[in-house]
Structure 1
Amino acid sequence: MSAHIPEGEVHPPKSHPPEERAEAWSSAAEAYDDFAEGATRHFAEDAVRLVRLRPGSRVLDVAAGTGVFTFAAARRGAEVLATDFSAGMIEAIGRKCAAQGLTTVKTAVMDGQALTVEDASFDVAASLFGLMFFPEHDRGLRELLRVLKPGGQAVVTTWAPPSRGEMFRLIGSAVMKALPNLPPPSKPPHWAALGDADDLRRRLLSVGFARAHVVSVTHVWTFESPEWLEQRLSSMSPASAGLFEAMNAAQRETFRRALIDDLRERQGEGPFAVTNEGLIAVGTKSSGT
């Protein structure tokens, strides 16, 4: 079984957006795990191939979420510390480690912007689709850099901008049918600040990484049915839960019907799939620091 390092769940002020509150992610942990594992698993496999990861490597997974990077690294013989500020997410990772017989994984509740681990103690530090939600992106990147050994590598993934995401377009179209008077967002979501490859590379270099590169990767995500997808959208993240809570019953039904009809019009009786584009950034720490 995985070992758990007991620490308290991290609770930012209630005024923070829901995706920055640990208790909101803990409430969504089961639905998010069911929804996101399939959408992110292939990106984790890419990420482990883009860093020097060997049997016995010490790996830190920050904002580990569903644990897809943790499991990919552990299966390759790495010793992994999986961290997340949500106790619910960490409990789910622990259960899956036990079910898979992974004995080289430890877990801890930890704030990715203030990691309670020693400097220069890991060969690889990762954050897959987690650091993008941090209130201060650069602070999270500096923490990854701090905990790396000289010559160590950090790998960070984020989604491409919403305009390039098929899932975002599908959901956005259904929302507009359900809420036709909803004003467009005044600015892109906070996480989208990491969605430009050149800017992301410059950001890694600016916080102190000696080298950095970013690749764009697209994967096909398949799922059982439009109904399976629709049923999970309402609770799969704090932001989506807030959106659906704001709808009345008629609006939720309009959204449901619009999403299902859109997918069936394009893909008939399936198999059902959408494409997801993500950016994978790798930063290397100087071997002299």
Structure 2
Amino acid sequence: MAEYLVELYVAQGDHVAAQHHVALAEQAGADLAREGRAVRFLRSIFVPEDDTCFLLFEADSAALVTEAVGRAGLRLEHVSAATTSVAGAQESPADTTKGTSMTSTTTSSTTSSSSTTSGTGPDLKELRDKQQKVWSSGDYNKIAALTVPVSEHLVDHVGVGPTDRVLDVATGTGHVALAAARRSAESVGIDYVPALLDIARRRAEAEDLVVELAEADAEHLPYDDASFDVVLSAIGVMFAADHDAAGRELVRVTRPGGRIGLASWTPEGFVGGMLRTVGAHVSPPPGAQPATRWGTEEVVAGLLGEGVTDVSSVTATVRQRFTDAAEFADLFLTWYGPTYAAAGRLDDEGRAALRADLVALAESHDRGEGGGLVCDWEYRIVTATRR
């Protein structure tokens, strides 16, 4: 394998942001390696004076390195064969100004992603609190209808029936929990945004459905071990702050022989592109991992661990229709928590640039069928059986 050097822009020479970029890149490289791909993250060098972070990979090709960086949700300036050693923190990688002071931001591969001890890892409680505020912002109910077909597909695919006790993790406005209740299952839903739970309750009352709803986060499910026959999440648990802890909890509350089913946007799909676009304008908070990792079967298998068997997946698309790309961009900038919160951190010029990129993204996915913007949003359903 050859060595390749990736150059990333780090706004205002932010050391914390650089560390976050490195952690994402290292994780993405490890994920690809577990899939049997010939790529390995080696180290990084941060050049704050140039607002630049260099990542050194070993891989079979530059294309594989580009894929790793894209999976990490990062936007690279360029990737090239590494012809200059970067082993010393004071050395200058190729194409940079000689004599620039550099600070190593290499992360330890042995550090637990769930560590919350000061100085040893991201504060995931703080991250969870920030994310809760993000999802409480905007008005997700204006967006939620777009994912109804995904939730219905998940419940059908897993085969929820009248004898099942079902938990919907990160239920939001209740799509999966309500769908399970319509199939006469004993349905329970949790979410950490009270306003969304209120909407789910009103929906259940309107349909005269019995659904138990509780405020909780995916990393701390308030239920005993082996409490549910089926544990589901549609476009929900993928946004947990601590992916490892959430994966463990999903398994813990599922009874032996019970089923787990998770529907998540894929890294390669439209929403994966949207989240990368937002991340290119506003850096994610320190410690945040790309939500679309859950849209890869191998990653979910690793998160669920040895407690499950029969892991498999299918991909599908949900077709979305808008008047035009501008309507899509304005809808998400006004109501969707992640894009709404990101736009709020930008000045007028920055918001205009983010909007322009969202419009361009939507236009690039238009099926060209006429009568407005028509896009297919890809998601993956991963299923597993509790041992």
TM tier relative to shorter chain: 0.7 to 0.9
The superposition leaves residues 198-251 of structure 1 with CA deviations (integer Å, 9 ceiling, x where unpaired) of 3323443x2411322122222212234444422321244443123211333344
Change over 3 Å in CA distance of 1:259–1:150 after alignment to 2: closer
Residue in 2 aligned with 1:89? Answer: 196
1:189 is displaced (CA, Å) by 4.8
Amino acid at match of 1:208: G
Letter in 1 for 2:180: A
Give the superposition deviation at 1:262: 7.2
After TM superposition, list the pairs within 5 Å mapping 1:1-289 onto structure 2: 15-16=126-127, 20-28=130-138, 31-38=139-146, 40-99=147-206, 101-161=207-267, 164-169=268-273, 189-204=289-304, 206-253=305-352, 255-256=354-355, 259-260=358-359, 267=368, 270-286=371-387
CA RMSD across the alignment? 3.4
String of CA shifts for 1:155-196, please: whole Å, max 9, x gaps.
Answer: 1122111xx2235546867998xx7xx899999952133332
Residues 272, 105 of structure 1: CA spacing in aligned structure 2 closer, same or farther, 3 A cutoff?
Answer: same
Partner of 2:80: none
In the superposition, the TM-score normalised over structure 2's length comes to 0.59
User: Offset at 1:73?
Assistant: 1.3
Residue 156 of structure 1 contacts residue 280 of structure 1 at CA under 8 Å; is this kept in 2?
Answer: yes
1:136/1:246 CA distance change after superposition, 3 Å: closer
TM-score normalised over the length of structure 1: 0.76
For 2:310 and 2:164, locate their aligned partners in 1 and report how far apart those are by CA, in whole Å: 20
CA separation in 2, counterparts of 1:80 and 1:59?
A: 5
Alpha-carbon distance between aligned partners in 2 of 1:13 and 1:144, rounded to the nearest angstrom = 18
Please say if residues 128 and 240 of structure 2, whose CA atoms lie closer than 8 Å, have aligned partners that are also in contact.
Answer: no
SS of 2:308's equivalent?
A: coil
Judged with a 3 Å threshold, the aligned counterparts in structure 2 of structure 1 residues 151 and 237 are, in CA distance, closer, same or farther, namely same
Letter of the 2:179 partner, please give it: A
Q: Which stretch of the first structure deviates more once superposed, 252-261 or 63-72?
A: 252-261
Q: Which moved more, 1:165-174 or 1:143-152?
A: 165-174
| 1:136 to partner: Cα distance | 2.1
- Structure 1 residue matching 2:140: 3-state secondary structure: helix
SS of residue matched to 1:49: helix
- Which structure has the higher relative contact order (CA within 8 Å, separation 6+)? 1
Change (3 A) 1:175 1:62: closer
User: Is the CA contact 1:82–1:105 (under 8 Å) kept in the aligned structure 2?
Assistant: yes
SS in 1 for 2:248: helix
Q: Distance in 1 between matches of 2:196 and 2:338?
A: 16
Q: Aligned-pair distance for 1:114? A: 1.1
Verify the 8 A CA contact 1:67 1:93 in the aligned structure 2. yes
Gaps of 5+ in 1: 1-11
User: Within 2, Cα distance between the matches of 1:58 and 1:22?
Assistant: 27
How much does 1:22 deviate? 2.2
**What SS is found at the alignment partner of 2:160?**
coil
The structure-2 alpha-carbon separation of the partners of 1:158 and 1:271, relative to structure 1 and needing over 3 Å to count, comes to same
CA contact (8 A) 1:61 1:126 kept: yes
User: Could you tell me whether the CA contact under 8 Å between 1:51 and 1:155 is conserved in 2?
Assistant: yes
Does the residue aligned with 1:117 lie in a helix, a strand or coil? coil
Q: Deviations over 1:28-51 (max 9, x none)?
A: 3xx22221321x222212211222
Question: How many residue pairs are counted as aligned between the two chains?
Answer: 263
Which amino acid letter does the alignment assign opposite residue 221 of structure 2?
A: L
Matched position secondary structure for 1:36? helix
Match for 2:228: what amino acid?
Answer: F
